[in-house]
Every structure is written in C-alpha cells, then in structure tokens.
Amino acid sequence: MANPLPGVADSFGDPKSDAVLTRAIVDTIREPLIVLNSDLRVVVASKSFYETFGVSPEETLQKKIYDLGNGQWNIPALRLLLEQIIPQKKSFQDYEVEHEFPSLGRRIMWLNGQEVRFKNGESKKILLSISDVTEKNRLAEENRKLIQHKDILLAEMRHRIANSLQLIASILLLKADAVKSEESRLHLTDAHQRIMSIATVQRQLEPTGVGNEIDVNEYLQALCTSLEASMIDKKPIRLTVDAVAQIITSNDAILLGLVTTELVINSLKHAFPNGSAGTIEVKYETDQDAWRLGVTDNGVGMLSMKNAEGLGTGLVDAMANQLKAIVEKETSPDGTTIWLTHHLATPLQKTGLSSPDLKI
C-alpha cells in the first residue's frame, strides 16, 4: 500500500499510523504550519498553509522552503531566522516579516519557530507557524486614525464649548452690573462663576482626548492660574497649589477640576468677607493606597456660614461619588479645609460635606 503522506514516513521514521496522526494534529491548527527537516525541506504542511498560500502538496512536500512557489519564500529575514537564530536560540516568537508575494500581494506575517530534537537519534525538525496579520494591522491602523480624528474633533468641540461658555458668562456679568436688585445681582454673579468654572476646566483639557492621561500637578497648576485670572482678579487673595505628580485619566481630571473650582468658589464667597485678604491653597497628596485632594483657606471658617445656601454641597458630593471618594471637613475660626479622599482598598463611604451646618 502506498504511503498516504509522501515524505512523512521517511522523515518521522515509522509507520503509517504515526503519519496519519501527525497529519490530523497539524490540520487542526488554524494558522499555516510547516515542518522542516535539518535540510530545511518541507516534510509536513498543514491544510491552512495550502489554502492560505494557494499551493498543493505536490508543489510543497520535500521541497526546500526557499524554492516554494518559484522562490517566493526566499526571504532574507526568513533565512536569518532559520539559518542563524534557530541554531543559536532553538526558537523565535512573533518575528514580523513583510514580503511581496506574486499571488497575494504584500503581506505582513508573524513567524514562530521551534526546533525539535528526538532522543532516538532521529534528525532534528523545525516547526514553523505563520500568522498573516496584514488585515489585522490594516484594521488597527484604521482604528488609530479614527481615534486620532475623533480626538481632533473632541478638542475642537471643547474649544468651542469653552468659548461659548465664556461668552455666556460675560453676558451674565454684564447683566449683574446692570440690575438694581442685590439678590438678582448675587444670583447672576453666582451663575457667572459656575459657568466660568466649567469653561476653565474645558480649557485645561483641550489638548487631551477621552481617556488620555494627564499629570495632576501640571493640570492643577494650569487650572488654578486660570481661576486666579478669571475669578480673583484684583482681590487681595492668593491662590496656590501644592500637588504631587501623578498620572490620571482626563475623565478623572474633569471631576477633580470641577471639585477644585467649586471649593475655590466657596472660599472666595464665604471665607473673606468685606474684601479681606487671605490665601487659598489647593493640595493633592498620595500614598501607596490612596490619594486626596484638599482646598484650604485661612478665612473666617465655616462656623460663620451656617445660613449660606446654594448648590455647592450637592455638586461636590455628586462628583466625589463618581470619583469613589469621601468628603471630610476641617474647620475652625482660623480657616477651613475640605478633603476628598479616595482609598483604593476600601469601599466607598457616604460623603460627609452635606451637613446641617454647611450649605454652600
């Protein structure tokens, strides 16, 4: 009876049953696979190899790999792998090779090779698997370009939003100067400050995309510089930043920026009555399993703010919940500190800013 797999029994040494088993195992592998002998001749090729590269067993078995397909596998990079890397290191993984095939065009392949030696003295074999990643790489490049285009559009949108918000804030400020009612003036001024806070946060995130990483120290420094220019102006109040360098996502930066701005506004409104001088300090600290954001002022303290009303408490609590942080306050007649603390290893606790004696 003729050998069912020409060349296989000769190279692997035995019987037909071993050859059939070898063929069955090889054909279950989805990516193209060939087995080479010590002379780099093909002794086994998988079904997927024949289908992918459009060749037949007659054109493949017992042929030197460099002679396959009229020399289309005579690739310098492949020669390097088989003739130098394999003898020295016995294997290689995910080696990328780009080559122009006459029938397939330019293809990008990942090659994996493994030398196999036998105890019975049989000559070594080389297993060579070939993954065609041309389409995968093309899709990855298209995806990269789409993400880049999306980030450009997002940056433009943020820029336009910030401009629009600043325009609205300017109109509100003009209206506040024009109205006669002190209560209406206070409401318009408050709306102006909150719109400016959102615009300022948007401004600082213009260069980034969704999910991009941002350094907290640089971000808070830039944010507070903008807040000082837009909200403090000629008031005798200093706004300082003491923050460690840490990388966070732009999504978290938005929340931290809004919380920081809200707490700075709170201090400006309540801590320094009658134009008194003072300092507001923004702090950002970390240790191994936590970070915390603090806003401290050396003003009159929260004890004088029991009857103040507004939306600040609810906004800070809501953003703290999104950051999985708890809110704590330290207050005395000499000033106030509000802390947002995020413990990596502890469950989210109820935030603590919304207390009966504090309404921002």
Residue with the bigger pLDDT between 121 and 250: it is 250
How do residues 299-355 score in pLDDT, each as one tens digit?
A: 887 544 444 444 456 778 888 999 999 999 888 888 899 999 998 754 434 444 443
Residue with the bigger pLDDT between 281 and 354: it is 281
How do residues 162-183 score in pLDDT, each as one tens digit?
A: 777 777 877 887 888 888 888 8
Give how far Cα 320 sits from Cα of 105, 192, 356, Å. 55, 23, 19
Average pLDDT value over all residues in the chain: 79
Look up the CATH number of domain 8-132.
Answer: 3.30.450.20
Question: Which residues are 131's β-sheet partners?
Answer: 110
Residues 6+ apart with CB under 8 A from 245: 215, 216, 217, 218
- CA nearest to 51, candidates 4, 104, 107: 104
> What pLDDT sits at residue 179?
86
Say if CB 55 and CB 73 are below 8 A apart: no
Distance CA 4, CA 46 (A): 15
Global pTM exceeds 0.75: no
Look up the CATH number of domain 215-360.
Answer: 3.30.565.10
Q: Which tokens hold the place of 297?
A: 């002022």
What are the residue ranges of CATH 3.30.565.10 in the chain?
215-360
> What pLDDT sits at residue 241?
95
What are the residue ranges of CATH 3.30.450.20 in the chain?
8-132
Phi/psi class of residue 71: alpha, beta or left (left: φ > 0; alpha: ψ in -120 to 50)? left
Say if CB 217 and CB 247 are below 8 A apart: no
